Amino acid sequence: MSRPDASSIHWAVLAHPGLSAPLQQEGGLVTDLAGIAGDPSGNELPGSVVVIDDRLPGAHALLEAYALRRPDVGMLLIGDDLPAQAVRALFRFAASDVLACSATAEMVQTACQTLAAKARKETAPASGATCWALRGAVGGAGVTTLAIETAFAMKQRQPTWQVCLIDLNLTDGMSAAFLDGQKKLDVAGLCAAPERIDSTLLRAYAWEHEKGIFLLAGPRAPLAEEVATRDGILQLLDVACGMFDHVVVDLPRHRTPWTDPILSVVDEVLVVSELTVPSLHAAGDLCREVDALRTGVAPAKLVLNRMFAKRSHRHSFPVDKAERAIHRKIDFTIRSDWDSARMAANLGMPIAQVKARSPLVKDIASLVETLVEGTSDTQERGAA
C-alpha cells in the first residue's frame, strides 16, 4: 500500500488539540470541526480523513452525518465503550478505525496515515484502466458532447484500446441519443444485486458503436436515481475499469450518493464551463469543491467549451483575465463548431466521424494527447 503524500490530505478533526497537533505538522489542510459539530446537517462536511473524539459535544451527530453524506472519507473514531449506533456508522465508511481514549498523538498520526491510504484503495477502480469523469459547471455546457468526442479521440489515438463511455445521467442521459445507440443499461436490475455485476453482465448491458466504442447508458427513467444505489454504481464502474483500457464518465451536474466517491478516485476530473462569467465562476467553485475530495490524485481540470472558432476572435477573449477573476487556471479550451455539432447530433454520429477536421475535434484530440501524456501544463490554449 503506497503512503499518500501527507501534504495533499485534508484532515478534518473534532478532538483535543493535543491529539490533532501532529496532523498540523504533517502538512496539508487541517479543518477544525468544532464549529459545525453543533449543526452538521446545515454544513458541507470537509476532509478526506476525519478524526472524531467520541467524548466531545456533537460527536455522535457528526459521525452520523459523515456516515450518511461522506462515506468516502477515512474515519478515525476515538473512544471507549462505543455505543452500537456509532459502531454501525463506522461500517459505512470506505475505511475506518477506532482508538481508545488512551491513544497517544503518535498513534492517531499513524492510524490517520493508514486510513488515508486505505480510503483511496477501497474506492479506487480495481485495475490499471484510466478513468476520466466530466461534469458541467452549468447545464448545457457541453459535457455529453465532450465526453463522446473524448472517447472517440482515445480510440482514434490508439485503435487497440478498449474504450467505454458510461452515461451516469441516469434519469435523462443523452449520449445514446447523440450516437443513435441502444440504451441497454438496466440500473434497477444492476443495483438490486450489485454483487452479481461482472464483466459478462456488463458486456450484455453495453452497446458497441461501429468504431469499437462501448456505451453503457440506460433508457430515459425519471425514477432511476431513486432505485440506483451507491454500491451498485461504484461496482459498475469498478468492473468497467477492469474490462476496458479507458473509461469516460458523463456525470450529471447535481450531486448523488456516488458522485463524491467517483470524483475522489478517478484519474482525471474535467469540469466543463461555457464562456460566460457566471459559468466561469461556477466552474472555479466546482473545481475547488472537487479538489477538496481528491487526495494524492490530479486536481480537477477546467475546460472552457465553445470558445470562439476564429483565431482573431479567440484572442480577443481575455483568458488570463478570466483566470485571475476566478482564481483558477483554465486548463483546456475547446473551440465552438455549431454546424458540425448540430449535424452530428442529427445524424446520430460523433462529430469526429461527421467532420474529422472540425476545430472542436482537433482541440479534443489535443486534450486527450495532453492528458494521456500527463503534460497538461504545457498545452497551448485553443491549439489550432
Ligand X SMILES: Nc1ncnc2c1ncn2[C@@H]1O[C@H](COP(=O)(O)OP(=O)(O)O)[C@@H](O)[C@H]1O
Query: Contact positions toward ligand X, by CB under 6 A?
Result: 136, 139-145, 174, 305-306, 334, 336-338, 341, 345, 360
CB of 209 to ligand X, least distance (A): 17
Least distance between ligand X and beta carbon 332 (Å): 11
Q: Which residue has the cell 458497441?
A: 208
Residue nearest to Mg ion (CB): 144
Residue 35 contact among Mg ion, ligand X, none, beta carbon within 5 to 8 Å by kind: none
Q: Does position 336 bind Mg ion by CB under 5 A?
A: no
Q: Minimum distance from CB of 360 to ligand X (Å)? A: 4
Secondary element (H or E) of residue 156:
helix 143-157
* Interface with Mg ion, residue 144, by CB under 5 A: yes
At its nearest, how many Å lie between ligand X and the CB of residue 180? 14
Q: Which stretch binds Mg ion (CB under 5 A): 59-67, 122-130, 139-147, 319-327?
A: 139-147
Q: Which stretch binds Mg ion (CB under 5 A): 138-146, 235-243, 276-284, 339-347?
A: 138-146
CB closer to ligand X out of 71 and 359? 359
Q: Closer to ligand X by CB, 60 or 335: give it.
A: 335
**Shortest Å, Cβ 279 to ligand X:** 11
Query: For Mg ion, which stretch binds (CB under 5 A), given 117-125, 137-145, 301-309, 328-336?
Result: 137-145
**Type of residue found at 60:** H
Decide: helix, strand or coil at residue 343.
Answer: helix
Give the nearer residue to ligand X in terms of CB position, either 192 or 356.
Answer: 356
Closest distance between ligand X and the C-beta of residue 47, in Å? Answer: 29
Characterise 180 by phi-psi region: left (phi > 0), alpha (psi -120 to 50), beta (else). Answer: left
The residue among 27, 54, 31, 53 whose CA lies nearest residue 43 is: 31
Q: Rounded to whole angstroms, how far apart are CA atoms 98 and 81?
A: 11
Residue 13 to residues 65, 78, 197, 305, Cα–Cα distance (Å): 14, 11, 37, 39
**What is the rounded CA–CA span in Å between residue 301 and residue 376?**
9
Q: How many helical (H) and strand (E) elements, i.e. helices and strands, does the chain have?
A: 18, 13
- DSSP code for 9: -
Beta-bridge partner residues of 78: 53, 99
Number of residues that bind Mg ion (CB under 5 A): 3
C-alpha cell at 293: 475530495
Using the minimum distance from each CB to ligand X, give the nearer residue, 34 or 138: 138
Nearer to Mg ion, 9 or 143 (CB): 143
185 contact choice in ligand X, Mg ion, none (CB below 5 to 8 Å, kind-dependent): none
Q: In Å, how far are 10, 80, 251, 278 from 333, measured between CA atoms? A: 30, 54, 20, 17
Q: In sequence order, which residues have a C-beta less than 8 Å from that of residue 280 and are 6 or more positions away?
A: 137, 273, 304, 322, 325, 326
Nearer to ligand X, 116 or 143 (CB): 143
* Nearest approach, Cβ of residue 355 and Mg ion (Å): 21
Measured CA to CA, the distance from residue 310 to residue 336 in angstroms comes to: 9
345 binds, among ligand X, Mg ion, none (CB under 5 to 8 A by kind): ligand X
Nearest to 75 by CA among 94, 57, 56: 94
Minimum distance of ligand X from residue 248's CB (angstroms): 13
Chain positions 153 to 212 lying near Mg ion, rule: CB under 5 A, are: 174
**If we measure between CA atoms, which residue out of 312, 37, 42 comes closest to residue 50?**
37
Indicate the residue among 139 and 318 with the shorter CB distance to ligand X.
139
Pick between residue 174 and residue 188 the one whose CB is nearest to Mg ion.
Answer: 174
Contact positions vs Mg ion (CB under 5 A): 143-144, 174
